[in-house]
C-alpha cells in the first residue's frame, strides 16, 4: 500500500505542474511534451537497469498505455476546459475505481471483500464531497454534457488501463518473468506517446483557429513560452508519468486495482492542500470535511490489508 500512497502524493504534485504548464504552453502541447520527456527518463531506467522491452506482458502493457495514457489523458484534457478541473477529476476518480473493480472481478476473477468495498466507498464518497462544484457551471448545456462525456472517457481510460496492467503482471508472473514498476511504466508510456502525438498532429492549433470556440467551450491555445514552460514540463514529467506511474505500476503489481484506485483517488484532495501551501488558495470547510472522510477510509483500508 505504500506504493499507492506515494503515487497519490506524486500525482498531486503533477497536477499542480500540469495546470501551470497548460497555461504557458496550451494543454495539448504540455501533455505531449511531458510524455515525451517522461519516455526518455523511463527509457534510461528500463534499458539501463530494468527489462527494457522484454517480457510476455509487453503487449498488455502497451494496450494499457494506449487506453490509459492515450485515451484517458486526452479525454481528461478535453473535459478540463469544458466542466472545470474539480468536476472533471470528480468524474474520473469516482468512476474509474468501481469500473476497474467490476472489470477485474468479471475478467480476472479478483473479487473484493465487503469490508474492502466499504472502505473504497468511503474514500470515493469523501472525494465527491470535497470536489463537487458549489454552484452551477456557467456553460451551455451542450458544452456541459460534452465535458461529462470526456470525463467519463477519462474514467474509462484510467480504470481499464489499471486492469490491463494487472493482466500484464499476471501474464508475466505465470511465465516466471517479474518486471519492475519503472519498466512497466516505460512499456505503457510508449503507446501513450504514439497516440498522443498522432492526435496532436491532427488536432494541433492553427493560426486560423483564433479566439474561443464557443460551440465547444474550449479556449484557444495560449502563446508558447518555452523559457517558462520547460521547468514546469520537466517537473510534471518527473512527478507524474515517471515516478508517479512507476509507483502506480508497482502498486498494481501486488494489489487489486479496485483497492489501488480509491487510494489514488485522494490525490485531488492532496492537491487542494498543496495549492493552499503553494498558491495560498484556502480550501473550503466542505473540502476539508471530504478530505477527512476520504483519509479515514484510506486508513481503514490500510489496517484491513496489514
Q: How many CB atoms lie under 10 A from the CB of residue 202?
A: 7
CA distances from 194 to 64, 189, 198 (A): 13, 9, 6
Query: What are φ and ψ of residue 218, in 5° steps?
Result: -100, 130
The reported pLDDT for the residue numbered 214 is 43
Residue with cell 470535497: 130
Boundaries of every domain in the chain:
2-111+138-200+225-257
How many CA atoms does the CB half-sphere of 85 hold within 13 Å? Answer: 13
pTM: 0.80
Q: In this predicted model, what pLDDT tens digit does every residue of 194-233 receive, in sequence order?
A: 998 998 888 766 554 444 444 445 555 556 788 899 999 9
Give the helix ranges, DSSP H, for 109-225.
114-131, 141-174, 181-203
- Grid cell locating 158: 484510467
Query: What are φ and ψ of residue 51, in 5° steps?
Result: -100, 0
Map residue 206 onto helix, strand or coil: coil
The reported pLDDT for the residue numbered 136 is 60
Output the tens digit of pLDDT for each of the chain's 306 residues: 789 889 989 988 888 888 788 778 887 888 899 999 999 999 999 999 999 999 999 999 999 999 998 888 888 878 877 877 767 777 787 788 888 888 888 888 877 788 888 888 888 888 788 777 656 667 788 888 898 899 889 989 999 999 999 999 999 999 999 899 999 999 999 998 999 899 888 876 655 444 444 444 555 555 678 889 999 999 999 999 999 999 999 999 888 887 888 888 888 778 777 777 776 767 778 877 887 787 788 767 766 765
The reported pLDDT for the residue numbered 122 is 87
- Grid cell locating 154: 477519462
- Among 64, 300, 28, which Cα is nearest to 179's? 64
Amino acid at each position: 500500500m505504500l506504493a499507492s500512497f506515494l503515487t497519490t502524493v506524486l500525482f498531486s504534485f503533477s497536477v499542480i505542474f500540469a495546470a501551470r504548464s497548460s497555461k504557458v504552453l496550451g494543454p495539448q502541447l504540455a501533455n505531449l511534451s511531458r510524455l515525451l520527456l517522461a519516455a526518455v527518463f523511463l527509457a534510461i531506467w528500463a534499458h539501463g537497469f530494468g527489462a527494457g522491452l522484454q517480457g510476455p506482458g509487453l503487449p498488455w502493457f502497451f494496450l494499457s498505455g494506449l487506453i490509459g495514457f492515450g485515451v484517458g489523458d486526452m479525454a481528461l484534457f478535453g473535459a478540463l476546459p469544458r466542466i472545470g478541473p474539480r468536476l472533471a477529476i470528480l468524474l474520473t476518480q469516482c468512476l474509474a475505481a468501481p469500473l476497474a473493480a467490476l472489470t477485474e472481478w468479471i475478467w480476472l476473477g479478483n473479487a473484493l471483500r465487503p469490508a474492502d468495498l466499504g472502505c473504497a466507498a468511503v474514500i470515493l464518497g469523501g472525494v465527491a464531497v470535497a470536489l463537487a462544484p458549489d454552484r452551477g457551471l456557467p456553460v451551455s448545456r451542450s458544452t456541459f454534457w460534452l465535458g461529462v462525456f470526456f470525463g467519463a472517457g477519462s474514467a474509462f481510460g484510467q480504470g481499464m488501463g489499471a486492469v490491463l496492467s494487472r493482466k500484464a503482471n499476471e501474464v508475466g508472473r505465470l511465465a516466471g518473468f517479474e518486471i519492475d514498476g519503472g519498466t512497466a511504466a516505460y512499456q505503457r508510456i510508449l503507446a501513450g506517446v504514439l497516440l498522443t502525438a498522432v492526435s496532436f498532429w491532427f488536432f494541433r492549433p492553427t493560426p486560423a483557429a483564433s479566439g474561443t470556440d464557443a460551440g465547444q467551450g474550449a479556449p484557444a491555445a495560449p502563446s508558447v513560452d518555452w523559457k517558462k514552460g520547460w521547468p514546469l514540463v520537466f517537473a510534471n514529467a518527473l512527478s507524474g508519468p515517471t515516478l508517479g506511474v512507476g509507483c502506480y505500476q508497482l502498486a498494481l503489481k501486488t494489489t487489486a486495482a479496485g483497492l489501488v484506485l480509491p487510494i489514488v483517488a485522494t490525490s485531488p484532495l492532496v492537491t487542494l492542500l498543496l495549492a493552499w501551501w503553494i498558491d495560498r488558495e484556502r480550501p473550503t470547510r466542505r473540502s476539508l470535511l471530504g478530505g477527512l472522510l476520504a483519509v479515514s477510509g484510506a486508513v481503514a483500508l490500510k489496517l484491513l490489508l496489514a
